[in-house]
Structure 1
Amino acid sequence: MKMKLIAVAVGAALSVPAVAMADVSVYGRAHVSVDYLDDGAKYSETNLSSNSSRLGFKGDHEINPDLKAFFQIEQQINFTTGSSSGGTSFATRDTFVGLSGNFGAVQAGRFDSPFKVARGPFNLFGDQVGDMNNLARVTSGRLDERYDNTIQYTTPDLNGFNVKAAYSMYQGQSLNITDSAANNEDSDAFSVSLNYLGGPLEASLAYEQVEEDTLRGEADSIRAAAAYKLTETFKLVGFYQTTDFTGVDDTTSAQRDAGTFNVFGLGGEFAIAKNTALKATWMTNDSDTRNADATMWVVGVEHKLDKAVRVYANYAVVDNDENVAYSPWMQSRTATPSGQSIDENDVNRAAGEKAAGLTVGLRYDF
């Protein structure tokens, strides 16, 4: 009898972790590339890069038929050196907890703003050489980021439409009330987007404002992105963004002009076989600073070995005006060689030059 009771107790104990973990999944992405990068002046080298690789845990729990709790914990992983980019922090990427139901969803934590997510329909080369952020996220202010201390509401699906609205307390866990520079109340951010997905069309319209004391100064921006599937094999994409950088009280007019710009672009994806596609985008950044415009074009081919694994090759070029030095490789990658000032001898800071990158990559989603 005692042996039977012990066996029942052990079985019950072993079953508890299984029940607790039943709705939790482990996921991730290993994304590496070999890149040849040339800034058009003194730098031309081959690099190995880990491109927004990640490891995450997510799950949900049904409280009742009309209410569900959900969570996600995600960490960036560097597959080229074995280190993470977050130091002692484990949750460096989208990490949140929330509730969802017929009312929509509410979540709190650290995650991409609605404005940042809204670029999705256009970004055919996300986390690769040629990522659109190399021209769209060049303001001196804080925009298009993964904000700390954020609360977000997402409406339920409304015939293909939904709205996301997020507010970030950014610098602290609550609004600060002291007058010191490190504890100013004016350090929040607001972001909202209207999104549509239905039939051949995917589109987003977004607005974001970041207040003065978020380390870099006040900025606001409007963004629109769309993808339209003209045929079963061809998708057309478009993008527009206008960004205004105000800065702080002592920000100079030259600094404001450098962070104020319009950027727009067009592109397309053409399926040449069942699992193979040719892709191309063209973008231009029209800056308020004189002779500081830049144009980027990217061409690439991607082949999906199966649902989880893909390989690709891209070639991207940024053509800079004489007072600016952008490159097609500085976003979402570990291989981001750069210098400290605009000088022809600095890596990736060769103003007025054409910076180019050739990349071959492997992405494994698990």
Structure 2
Amino acid sequence: MKLIRTAVATAVALGMAAPALAEEATVTPYGKINVTYQMTDDSSLDGSEVKSNNSRFGLKGKAKLSDSLKAIYSLEWQVDTTDKGDSSDDHIKARNQIVGLAGNFGEVIVGRHDSPLKKAQGKVDLFNDIEGDIKTLFNGEVRASNFAQYTSPKFGGVKIKLATMTPSKGAAETDENDFGSASSISVEYSNDDWFFAIAQDNDVSGIDTTTTRFTTQYKIGSFSLGAIYNEHDNGTIDEEGMLFSVAYKAGDHTLKLQTGESDELAVDKKVSSIGWDVKLGKATKVFAFYTKSDDADNNDQSWLGLGLEQKF
């Protein structure tokens, strides 16, 4: 924990020592709208719906402070594009919202952000944001508040992230819920064909919890092969899960297959998905998917959907 705090403090000190240059900050709007028409089959719902899948919008930018230092910032929100127009508090939600400094020393950010362990999934999850998302299988998919992170420069393809934060869950009004009582660390390696990451959370998902994740993805020709191993120890029970994904790209078409099993969120839970993406333009795609989920308690569910995603 002391190492994380020292790294963050050093990066901030470097930024404060740099002379400022009078240059206007840049701001860029961005986002995506992802909507599906899908049919659901489970014990509580058997019908169809139009669903917004983590559609979002945001602003990001930077400001040059010197030849070797810049300020960075972003504000992002999730929006429910299929909201019925009522007063639901879920219509707009905060996502990653940070400010920080970047330079030769690396990068330091503070605010609200995905933990290093969550980001260590890379691009292995081929059904991110829809029903087959790995958050339905694994612990560790945490967007933390009261968050500070140092990211090292990349050396030989290796990058290290050190973060400290307040636990996302746990008893209120305890010393353990103070900022800095939870930590997350990851080591990532990447080149043109291979991505590998190892990460660990300590007390991020609750007091006395440890989550460990190994991720790898390899590209060979038109194929991308990926795997994630996830282990969660809550101090009493040590649970684990595995996920495998395969994507085949042919021109503007991508065929996807993904399957995983875990005991972390339900006993013997299995989630399998198959999908087909078609790019209509640089920022536009249509897609279809089928996802099936079941566990030892006979909670069987399936979804069949057709979607459209537009980025901007």
TM range (shorter): 0.7 to 0.9
- TM (normalized to structure 1)? 0.72
Q: CA deviation at 1:49?
A: 1.0
**What does residue 241 of structure 2 align with?**
263
Q: CA deviation at 1:99?
A: 0.4
The structure number with the bigger radius of gyration is 1
Q: CA deviation at 1:169?
A: 3.2
Distance in structure 1 (CA, Å) of the matches to 2:311 and 2:265:
40
**Deviation readout 1:127-161 (Å, 9 max, x if unpaired):** 01211221113xxxxx4211111110000011111
**What does residue 315 of structure 1 align with?**
290
In the alignment, is residue 50 of structure 1 matched against residue 43 of structure 2? no
Distance in structure 2 (CA, Å) of the matches to 1:109 and 1:85:
27
Q: Are the structure 2 counterparts of residues 306 and 312 from structure 1 closer, same or farther at C-alpha, using a change threshold of 3 Å?
A: same
Q: 1:303·1:310 contact (CA, 8 Å) conserved in 2? A: yes
**Deviation readout 1:170-226 (Å, 9 max, x if unpaired):** 58xxxxxxxxx6321112321011111102101211100116xx7x54321100111
Secondary structure of 1:242 counterpart: strand
- Of the three residues 271, 289, 309, the one matched with 1:363 is 309
Secondary structure of 1:203 counterpart: strand
Report runs of 4+ in structure 1 exceeding 3 Å deviation: 82-91, 286-289
Distance in structure 1 (CA, Å) of the matches to 2:109 and 2:199:
19
- Of the three residues 115, 120, 123, the one matched with 1:113 is 115
**What does residue 273 of structure 2 align with?**
298
Q: 1:111·1:150 contact (CA, 8 Å) conserved in 2? A: yes
Partner amino acid for 1:166? A
**What does residue 146 of structure 2 align with?**
149
In the alignment, is residue 169 of structure 1 matched against residue 166 of structure 2? yes
**What does residue 336 of structure 1 align with?**
none
Partner amino acid for 1:58? K
- Within 5 Å, give how 1:339-358 maps onto structure 2: 352-358=298-304
Partner amino acid for 1:261? E
**What does residue 202 of structure 1 align with?**
195
**What does residue 18 of structure 2 align with?**
none
- TM (normalized to structure 2)? 0.84
- Of the three residues 23, 28, 31, the one matched with 1:28 is 31
Identity over the aligned pairs, expressed in percent?
A: 29
Q: Are the structure 2 counterparts of residues 154 and 309 from structure 1 closer, same or farther at C-alpha, using a change threshold of 3 Å?
A: same
Number of positions where the alignment pairs a residue of Structure 1 with one of Structure 2: 285
Distance in structure 2 (CA, Å) of the matches to 1:237 and 1:106:
29
Secondary structure of 2:117 counterpart: helix
**What does residue 242 of structure 1 align with?**
231
Distance in structure 2 (CA, Å) of the matches to 1:220 and 1:207:
7
Q: Are the structure 2 counterparts of residues 133 and 66 from structure 1 closer, same or farther at C-alpha, using a change threshold of 3 Å?
A: same
Q: 1:129·1:358 contact (CA, 8 Å) conserved in 2? A: no
Q: 1:86·1:92 contact (CA, 8 Å) conserved in 2? A: no
Distance in structure 2 (CA, Å) of the matches to 1:84 and 1:116:
32
**What does residue 209 of structure 2 align with?**
219
Structure 2: runs of 5+ lacking an equivalent: 1-22
Secondary structure of 1:317 counterpart: strand
**Deviation readout 1:254-304 (Å, 9 max, x if unpaired):** xx54xx421102120001x31101000111114698xx2121111110011
Q: CA deviation at 1:121?
A: 3.0
Partner amino acid for 2:80? N
- Within 5 Å, give how 1:223-234 maps onto structure 2: 223-231=213-221, 233-234=222-223
Structure 1: runs of 5+ lacking an equivalent: 1-18, 138-142, 172-180, 247-255, 323-351
Distance in structure 2 (CA, Å) of the matches to 1:307 and 1:81:
27
Secondary structure of 1:133 counterpart: helix
**Deviation readout 1:1-60 (Å, 9 max, x if unpaired):** xxxxxxxxxxxxxxxxxx846x11011111111111111x35311121111111101100
**Deviation readout 1:56-80 (Å, 9 max, x if unpaired):** 0110011111101010011111111
Q: CA deviation at 1:120?
A: 2.4
RMSD: 2.5
